[in-house]
Amino acid sequence: MRSSLKMRVLCALLALLMLSVPVMAGGSQESGSTSSGPVRIKIATWTSNPDQIALLQSFVDEFAAKEGIEVAAEFESIEFGEYNTKLSLELQGSQAPDVFWVLETSAPAFIESGLLAPLDAELAEYNPEDLSAKAMELWQKDGVTYAVPFSTSPFFMIYNADLFAAAGIDTPDKLVAEGKWDWNAFRAASKAIKDATGVWGYQTVDGGGYDVRILHNLCPIIRSYGGDAWTNDGQILINTPESVEAVQLFHDMVYVDGSVVPPGDQSDFFSGAAAMTAAQVSRVSKLTDVDFAWGVAPMPAGPMGDVPITGQAGIGAFSKGKNVDVAKKLVAYMTNEECVARMAGIWPPARYSVLESPDFLTSQPLLTADQMSMAVAGSIETGRVLPSHVMYPQIEVESRIVWDRLWNPNADVQAVLDGVAEVYAKYIK
Amino acid sequence: MKKKMTKLERGEALTGYLFILPQMAGFIVLVLVPLVMVFTYSFESRNLLFGNMGFTGLDNYKTLIGDDLFYMTLKNTVIFSLGVVPLNLVLSLALALYLGSASTGTKIVRSVIFLPVITSGVAWAIVFTYLFQGGEAGPINYILSLIGIEGPNWLHEKGWAMFAVVVSRVLKNLGTNVLIFMGAVMNLPQDVLEAGRIDGATRPILFWKIKLPLLMPSILMVMIVTVIGSMRVFDTIKLMTDGGPEGSTMVLVYYIYHQAFRTFNIGYASTIAVVLFFIVLLLTIAQWALRRRASYYED
Mean pLDDT of B93-113: 80
Contact (CB<8Å) B155/A210: no
Q: Which of A17-21, B46-50, B71-75, B133-137 has the highest mean pLDDT?
A: B71-75
Mean pLDDT of A1-29: 50
pLDDT tens per residue across span A304-340 = 888 888 889 999 999 999 999 999 999 999 999 999 9
Contact (CB<8Å) A400/B244: yes
Q: Which residues of A touch B11 (CB under 8 A)?
A: 5, 8-9
Contact (CB<8Å) A92/B8: no
Distance from CA of A355 to the nearest CA of B (A): 34
Find all residues with CB under 8 Å of B34, minimum gap 6, and list them.
none
Q: A356 versus B26: which is more confidently predicted? A: B26
Q: Beta strand A39-45 with B51-55: parallel, antiparallel or unpaired?
A: unpaired
Find, in chain B, the residue whose alpha carbon is nearest to that of A8.
Answer: B15
Contact (CB<8Å) B49/A265: no
Query: What's residue A29's pLDDT?
Result: 38
Q: A334 versus A106: which is more confidently predicted? A: A334
State the DSSP code for A186.
Answer: H
Q: Which residues of A touch B47 (CB under 8 A)?
A: 113
- Superfamily the domain A156-307+391-427 falls into: Periplasmic binding protein-like II (3.40.190.10)
Does A156-307+391-427 match A39-153+311-382 at the fold level? Answer: yes
Contact (CB<8Å) A404/B8: no
**Band of pLDDT at residue A36, cut at 50, 70 and 90:** low
Q: How many whole angstroms separate alpha carbon A191 and alpha carbon A201?
A: 6
Q: Which of B15, B130, B247 is opposite residue A401, by nearest beta carbon?
A: B247
Q: How many whole angstroms separate alpha carbon B8 and alpha carbon A167?
A: 92
Mean pLDDT across chain B: 89
Q: Which residues of B touch A261 (CB under 8 A)?
A: none
**C-beta separation of B217 from B224 below 8 A:** no
Domains of chain B with CATH codes: 60-294 (1.10.3720.10)
Partnered with residue A301 across adjacent β-strands are: A182
Q: Which of B69, B134, B246 is opposite residue A264, by nearest beta carbon?
A: B134
Output the CA torsion A51→A57→A61→A63 (10° steps): 120
Contact (CB<8Å) B51/A92: yes
**C-beta separation of A96 from A90 below 8 A:** yes
Q: Is the pLDDT of residue A93 over 80?
A: yes
State the DSSP code for A49.
Answer: -
Q: Which residues of B touch A (CB under 8 A)?
A: 8, 11-12, 14-15, 18-19, 21-22, 25, 47-51, 69, 130, 132-135, 137-138, 153-157, 242, 244-247, 250, 258, 261-265
Question: Between A and B, how many residue pairs show a Cβ–Cβ distance under 8 A?
Answer: 109
| pTM of the entire predicted model | 0.82
Find, in chain A, the residue whose alpha carbon is nearest to that of B141.
Answer: A265
Q: Is the pLDDT of residue A20 over 60?
A: no
Taking each helix axis from N to C end, the angle separating B212-231 and B68-101, rounded to the nearest 10 degrees, works out to: 140
Q: How far is CA B296 from CA B18, B209, B214, B285, in A?
A: 39, 13, 9, 18
- Superfamily the domain A39-153+311-382 falls into: Periplasmic binding protein-like II (3.40.190.10)
Find, in chain A, the residue whose alpha carbon is nearest to that of B12.
Answer: A5
Q: Which of A1, A109, A407 is opposite residue B245, by nearest beta carbon?
A: A407
Query: What's residue A372's pLDDT?
Result: 85
pLDDT tens per residue across span B184-213 = 988 888 898 899 989 888 888 988 989 998
Q: Is the pLDDT of residue A31 over 50?
A: no
Contact (CB<8Å) B69/A398: yes
Q: Is the pLDDT of residue A34 over 70?
A: no
Q: Which residues of B touch A265 (CB under 8 A)?
A: 133-135, 137
Cβ neighbour number for residue B148 with a 10 Å cutoff: 6
**C-beta separation of A141 from A111 below 8 A:** yes
Query: Taking the domains of chain A in order of start, what are their residue ranges?
Result: 39-153+311-382, 156-307+391-427
> % helix / strand / coil in chain B, to the nearest 5?
75, 5, 20
Q: Is the pLDDT of residue A19 over 80?
A: no
Q: Is the pLDDT of residue A18 over 80?
A: no
User: Exposed e or buried b for every residue in B10-33, given b needs 16+ CB within 10 A?
Assistant: ebbeebeebeeeeeeeeeeeeeee
Contact (CB<8Å) B15/A89: no
Q: How many whole angstroms separate alpha carbon B142 and alpha carbon B145?
A: 5
Distance from CA of B67 to the nearest CA of A (A): 12
Contact (CB<8Å) B15/A397: no
Contact (CB<8Å) B49/A109: yes
Contact (CB<8Å) A266/B137: yes
**Band of pLDDT at residue B110, cut at 50, 70 and 90:** confident
Q: How many whole angstroms separate alpha carbon B252 and alpha carbon B261?
A: 14
**Band of pLDDT at residue A24, cut at 50, 70 and 90:** very low
Phi-psi region of B148 (alpha: psi -120 to 50; beta: other; left: phi over 0): left
Where helices occur in A137-266 by DSSP H, the ranges are 161-167, 172-177, 183-197, 214-224, 241-252
**Band of pLDDT at residue A7, cut at 50, 70 and 90:** low
Q: Which residues of A touch B (CB under 8 A)?
A: 1, 5, 8-9, 11-13, 15-16, 18-19, 84-85, 88-89, 91-92, 109-110, 112-115, 210-212, 262-267, 393-394, 396-398, 400-402, 404-405, 407-408
Cβ neighbour number for residue A267 with a 10 Å cutoff: 17
Q: Which residues of B touch A211 (CB under 8 A)?
A: 242, 244
Query: What's residue A319's pLDDT?
Result: 94
Beta strands in chain B, from DSSP E residues, in sequence order: 44-47, 51-55
Contact (CB<8Å) A394/B263: yes
Contact (CB<8Å) B130/A5: no
Q: Which residues of B touch A210 (CB under 8 A)?
A: 156
Find, in chain A, the residue whose alpha carbon is nearest to that of B241.
Answer: A264
Task: Establish how many alpha carbons lie within 13 A of residue A308's alpha carbon, considering only the half-sphere containing its beta carbon.
Answer: 27
Find, in chain B, the residue whose alpha carbon is nearest to that of A407.
Answer: B156
Cβ neighbour number for residue B281 with a 10 Å cutoff: 11
Q: Which residues of A touch B49 (CB under 8 A)?
A: 88, 91, 109-110, 112-113, 115
